């Protein structure tokens, strides 16, 4: 059914089409010279106007824009490179500065340490000196004391023994004999008490 | 009436008849579409060149890309000597392209589908190129017809062939554009007629063909404008740099 309708319509159309086509004046309208002059006239007019306006006003502007963009981009690239170089230099400078300051800080630290160590050494030396001096003094005193002790002991022993004898006997005895005895005794016992 | 595929190429008067000394220069639909194309070109490119943005907007990008495209085309084919003719070739390319493209709109008239229009353009190019050739090289421009390295025996034949090929340039240039545009539009019309005649039942096939043809025709519209411009460049190159 569909096929039949399809074919009928096709045949009908081709018939109609060919009838209409033959009814027209036929051939190509392009070869009809009726409007040739008019077309040439209007073509020259419109194309001429188009050409003049484009070449005088619009194309120079576009070319200017393009040149401008080109130069500006070149400029920008140049500037960017310059700034990049500058920033690199700055970074280098900063790094140098940081290294330098680090070095300085280390130096300061070292110096301070040295100074402190030196001070400590000095103080210690001084202290040792003082201590040594004191020790020497004390030793001297001890030696003096040691030296003086037997004499004093002798004196005291003579006095006490004379006082004892006086109390016991009631008579005064010549102190020289007592001292001779005490000295004799102390000489004997000295090594025992002082261990010299 | 509308089913006639040639009907779309009819030229008819719009408005009153204008006559100067028995010569009819009435305003027609062809004139209308020439003016529409020219005004569109001027409008788009004046918009595209009015701002001086470093980063271009879309219309500026279009204008600048077209500019560089054609300038590169001239530089590639005619060298740096072709630079003074840039404005003419730019206008030519844009005019043909816009006329072709406007012809793709439904119910529009295709200016370039008329042999008289393309022939006037082509013969203008032919005459211009010949004048440029004789101005640049004097009578030595005739050396164009005598290729180097051809045996003397063959020379008369070759010279005749060269002269015929040179003289046929305006015809081949104009017929190429006209025939391409006419054939494409006629074919689209025929397929459109098939869609109507086959109706809802069988119309899908010619409809899909029509869609595909529309894409093809847009490509052809661009390609023919490009070919027209590049052949002009090549003829110009012959006139500017005599290679033979």
- B1 falls within a domain: no
**Span B56-69, mean pLDDT?**
91
For residue B126, is pLDDT > 90? yes
Alpha helices in A55-174 (DSSP H): 59-169
pLDDT at position B137 over 70:
yes
Which tokens sit at A68? 């401008």
Of A58, A40, A55, A46, the C-alpha closest to B35 is: A46
Residue B227 · residue B93 · CB < 8 Å: no
ipTM above 0.85, yes or no: yes
pLDDT grade, residue B208 (50/70/90)? very high
Q: DSSP character for B52? A: -
Query: Distance of alpha carbon B25 from its chain centroid, rounded?
Result: 23
Q: Look at chain B and count its residues.
A: 244
- pLDDT for A22: 46
Count structural domains, chain B. 1
pLDDT at site A158: 80
Contacts of A104 (CB under 8 A, 6+ apart): none
Task: Give me B244's structure tokens.
Answer: 């033979």
Q: Is B87 domain-assigned?
A: yes
Is B144:B166 a contact under the CB 8 Å cutoff? yes
B141: left (phi over 0), alpha (psi -120 to 50) or beta: alpha
Sort A75 into a burial class: Cβ within 10 Å, 0-12 / 13-18 / 19+: exposed
Describe the crossing of helices A59-169 and B86-103 by its angle, rounded to 10 degrees: 100
* Tokens (6 digits) for A167: 């109390």
- CB atoms A24 and B23 under 8 Å: no
The backbone torsions φ and ψ at residue B11, rounded to the nearest 5 degrees and listed phi first, read -105, 130
Higher pLDDT: B212 or A28? It is B212
Can you tell me the distance from the alpha carbon of A20 to that of A98, in angstroms, rounded to the nearest whole number? 97
What average pLDDT score do residues B36-63 get? 89
If 0-12 CB within 10 Å is exposed, 13-18 middle and 19+ buried, where does residue B212 land?
A: exposed
CA angle, residues B146, B232, B75, in degrees to nearest 5: 95
Q: Which residue of A20, A42, A68 is in closest CB contact with B31? A: A42
pLDDT at B1: 44
Give pLDDT, residue A4. Answer: 67
Does the beta carbon of B123 lie under 8 angstroms from any beta carbon of chain A?
Answer: no
What interhelical angle do B169-202 and B204-240 show, nearest 10? 170
> Which phi and psi angles does B102 have, rounded to 5°?
-65, -30
Q: Report the distance separating Cα B193 and Cα B203, nearest Å.
A: 10
Domain span holding position B233: 7-240
Can you read off the two tokens belonging to residue A181?
A: 């005895």
Q: Give me the pLDDT at residue A23, please.
A: 43
Q: Which of A27, A30, A51 sits opposite B91 (nearest CB)?
A: A51
Residue B116 lies in a domain: yes
Q: What percent of chain B has pLDDT over 90?
A: 62
Model pLDDT for residues A8-64, shown as the tens digit of each residue: 666 655 555 555 444 445 678 888 888 888 999 999 999 999 999 999 999 999 999
Choose the weakest-confidence range: A125-129, A183-187, B235-239: A183-187
Q: What is the pLDDT of residue A11?
A: 60
Contacts of A69 in chain B (CB under 8 A): 54, 56
Say if residues B160 and B107 touch (Cβ distance below 8 Å). no
CA distance B224 to B100: 9
Residues of A in contact with B113 (CB under 8 A): 30
Chain A residues close to B116, C-beta within 8 Å: 30, 36, 39-40
Domains of chain A, by residue range, sit at 44-194
Q: Which residues contact B130 (CB under 8 A, 6 or more apart)?
A: B141, B239
For the stretch B183-201, pLDDT in tens is: 999 999 999 888 888 888 8
Q: Closest Cα of chain B to A90: distance in Å?
A: 31
- Residues in a beta bridge with B24: B19
Average pLDDT over residues B121-144: 92
At A100, list the tokens.
């330098």
Instruction: State mean pLDDT over A51-79.
Output: 92
| B50 contacts A46? CB cut-off 8 A | no
The residue of chain B with its CA nearest to that of A5 is: B201
Output the six-digit token pair for B88: 């003419």
B49: pLDDT strictly greater than 60 = yes
């Amino acid at each position: 059914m569909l096929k039949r309708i399809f074919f009928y319509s096709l045949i009908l159309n081709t018939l109609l089409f060919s009838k209409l086509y033959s009814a027209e004046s036929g051939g190509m309208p392009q070869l009809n010279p009726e409007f040739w002059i008019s077309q040439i006239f209007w073509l020259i007019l419109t194309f001429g106007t188009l050409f003049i306006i484009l070449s005088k006003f619009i194309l120079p502007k576009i070319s200017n824009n393009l040149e401008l963009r080109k130069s500006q981009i070149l400029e920008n690239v140049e500037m960017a490179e310059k700034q990049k170089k500058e920033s690199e230099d700055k970074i280098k400078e900063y790094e140098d500065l940081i290294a330098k300051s680090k070095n300085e800080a280390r130096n300061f630290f070292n110096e301070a340490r040295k100074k402190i160590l030196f001070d400590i050494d000095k103080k210690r030396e001084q202290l040792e000196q003082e201590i040594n001096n004191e020790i020497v003094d004390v030793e001297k005193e001890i030696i003096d004391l040691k030296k003086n002790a037997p004499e004093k002991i002798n004196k005291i022993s003579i006095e006490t023994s004379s006082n004892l004898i006086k109390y016991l006997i009631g008579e005064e005895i010549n102190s020289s004999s007592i001292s001779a005895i005490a000295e004799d005794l102390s000489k004997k016992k000295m090594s025992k008490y002082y261990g010299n | 009436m509308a089913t006639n595929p040639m009907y779309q190429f009819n030229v008819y008067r719009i408005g009153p008849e204008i006559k100067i000394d028995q010569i009819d220069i009435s305003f027609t639909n062809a004139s209308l579409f020439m003016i529409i194309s020219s005004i569109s070109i001027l409008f788009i490119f004046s918009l595209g060149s009015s701002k001086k943005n470093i980063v271009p907007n879309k219309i500026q990008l279009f204008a600048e890309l077209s500019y560089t495209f054609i300038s590169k085309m001239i530089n590639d084919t005619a060298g740096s000597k072709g630079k003074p003719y840039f404005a003419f070739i730019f206008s030519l390319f844009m005019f043909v392209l816009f006329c072709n493209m406007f012809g793709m709109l439904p119910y529009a008239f295709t200016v370039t589908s008329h042999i008289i229009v393309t022939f006037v353009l082509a013969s203008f190019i032919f005459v211009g190129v010949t004048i440029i050739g004789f101005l640049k090289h004097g009578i030595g421009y005739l050396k164009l017809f005598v290729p180097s390295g051809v045996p003397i025996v063959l020379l008369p034949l070759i010279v005749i062939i060269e002269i015929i090929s040179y003289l046929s340039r305006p015809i081949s240039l104009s017929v190429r554009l006209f025939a391409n545009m006419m054939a494409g539009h006629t074919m689209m019309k025929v397929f459109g007629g098939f869609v109507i005649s086959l109706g809802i039942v069988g119309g899908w096939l010619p409809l899909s063909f029509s869609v595909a043809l529309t894409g093809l025709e847009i490509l052809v519209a661009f390609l023919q404008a490009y070919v027209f411009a590049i052949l002009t460049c090549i003829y110009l190159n012959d006139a500017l740099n005599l290679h033979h």
